[in-house]
Amino acid sequence: MKAIVLCAGRGTRLRPLTHTSAKHLIPVANKAVLTYSLEAIKRAGIDEIGLIVNPSNIEDFKREYGSGESLGLRIEYILQEEPKGLAHAVAISHDFLGEESFLMYLGDNLLEEELKGFVDEFLSNGSDASILLAPVENPSRFGIATLSKGRVTKVVEKPKKPESNLALIGVYLFTNKIFEGIENIKPSWRGELEITDAIEYLIEHGYNVTAHIVYGWWKDTGMPEDIIEANRRVLIGIKESFIGGSIDEKSKIEGTVIIGEGSQIVSSVIRGPVIIGKKSTIENCYVGPFTSIGDNVILNNCEVENSILLRDSHISDIMMRIDASLIGRNVRIRGTHSKPAALKVILGDYSQAEIHMISP
């Protein structure tokens, strides 16, 4: 079986990070979001992957994965020139997929449950399509399914009046019947060919569409707060500490902590779960739970928790604790005593900052 992984989304809600990298490559616990999914697909026994990309992010993926060899995969890149929808992405992958059944995975999803059970169930139950569903609190933001006696009786994309709270989470298994569905649908109100409409076509034409409900956590990592939450979830799952760098006797390490080779911890408290990459220096700092720090980061005189700091950034002399923050590559933040005592920032397009106000 082959898989297609859809990574052509522009990631506008993650700007400015997505000005310089595809959103699927933003690291969570120091590993690209997409790598978790590719590894999960591999564990499900699938090693031929078509990565659907767009003209502006294709090189990011090629740089990160090349032909897929380092992950034990064979990756082919399929270019979706324009954002014409998920069903359009499937249609342009027809040559790559041939007529065999396949897995489709939306590349910005993170899923706790293994895919293998879902794939095995589909291969043995003879259904024409199967979808992964999860209960959600805000059904109007998703494709929503209605079930009856183990079969899917209806799917609607972002319904105004949802009939259930079971959302399509972005993992699908299809036989080649899906191509018939895609040929028979029209673009939706948002101008896209919706895969949900193609699945609804199958249901309406008597095909057998089944579902598998996941109760473990899953996350669509489309927004900064989703990435920070995914980071927390992944860090909680780290079972063992690994200390590759050096820690001086004035420092204290508590809980599960991973420190990469060549990193130095000086006069600091690191309270896990925390991951620190290679060649980073943490001096006179508190690094609290749920923090991921990339390679070659310098932290001096500051406190940070529940945050992601990407590689090559320098942060020093900050009075307030940094919390729930997503800090990109090569960022500089420093406290000063110089006058005027003002906020002085150079923020890229679409940056966001929240400054704590002193009570009047």
* Residues making contact with ligand G1P (CB under 6 A): 86, 106, 142-143, 157, 167-170, 194, 196, 220
CA distances from 65 to 70, 74, 96 (A): 7, 10, 18
Shortest CB 108 distance to ligand G1P, Å: 8
Among candidates 271, 129, 297, 95, which has minimal Cα distance to 203?
129
Shortest CB 184 distance to ligand G1P, Å: 18
Shortest CB 64 distance to ligand G1P, Å: 22
Nearer residue to ligand G1P within complex by CB, 169 or 253: 169
Give CA–CA dist 276/281, Å, rounded. 9
Shortest CB 90 distance to ligand G1P, Å: 12
- DSSP at 130: E
Among candidates 126, 103, 115, which has minimal Cα distance to 1?
103
Residue number of the CB closest to ligand G1P reads 143
Nearer residue to ligand G1P within complex by CB, 48 or 220: 220
Which residues are within 8 A (CB) of 98 and not within 5 positions of it... i.e. 6 or more apart?
Answer: 2
Give CA–CA dist 92/30, Å, rounded. 32
Beta strands in 80-177 (DSSP E): 102-106, 109-111, 129-135, 143-148, 151-157, 166-174
Give CA–CA dist 181/187, Å, rounded. 13
Cα 188 off chain centre by:
25
CA distances from 273 to 76, 116, 199, 234 (A): 36, 28, 41, 10
Among candidates 126, 120, 88, 112, which has minimal Cα distance to 169?
112
Placement of tokens 């079986």 in the chain: 1
Placement of tokens 């090189």 in the chain: 59
Shortest CB 36 distance to ligand G1P, Å: 16
Shortest CB 194 distance to ligand G1P, Å: 6
Shortest CB 100 distance to ligand G1P, Å: 23
Shortest CB 253 distance to ligand G1P, Å: 37
For residue 259, how many C-alpha atoms fall within 13 Å in the half-sphere facing its CB? 22
Nearer residue to ligand G1P within complex by CB, 229 or 295: 229
Instruction: Judge whether 272 and 254 are in contact, CB under 8 Å.
Output: yes
